[in-house]
Structure 1
Amino acid sequence: MEERLQKIISKSGIASRRAAEALIKEKRITINGTVVTELGIKVDAMRCTIAVDGRIIAQEEEHVYLLLNKPKAYLSTAKDDRGRRTVLDLVLGIALRIYPVGRLDYNTTGLLLLTNDGALTNGLLHPKQEVEKTYVATVKGRIDETALQRLRTGISLEDGVTAPAKVRMLERTNGLTKIEVIIHEGRNRQVRRMFAAVGCDVRALMRTNFAGLSLDGVKCGAYRLLTKGEVDRLRLLAGLLR
Structure 2
Amino acid sequence: MRPRRYLAIVRLGALLQLRDAGLVVLMTLTPLVLMPFMIPACKTMLASEGYLTATGAEQAVPGMATLFSFLSVQVIVQSFFREHTWGTWPRLRASAATAADVVLGKVTVAYAVQGAQLLVVLALGSALFGYRPAGDPAAIVAVALLFAAVLAAFGVALSLWARSEGTALSVANLVGMLAAGLGGTLCTVASFPEWARPLAKLSPAYWALDAVRAVSLDGAGLADIAPQLGALAVFLVALAALAMIRCLMGIDGRKTE
- Fold match by TM threshold 0.5: no
Q: Which has the higher contact order (CA 8 A, sep 6+)?
A: 2
Q: Which TM-score band (shorter chain)?
A: under 0.3
Q: TM-score, normalised by structure 2?
A: 0.27
Kindly name which structure, 1 or 2, has the bigger radius of gyration based on alpha carbons: 1
Q: Which has the higher helix share?
A: 2
Q: TM-score, normalised by structure 1?
A: 0.28
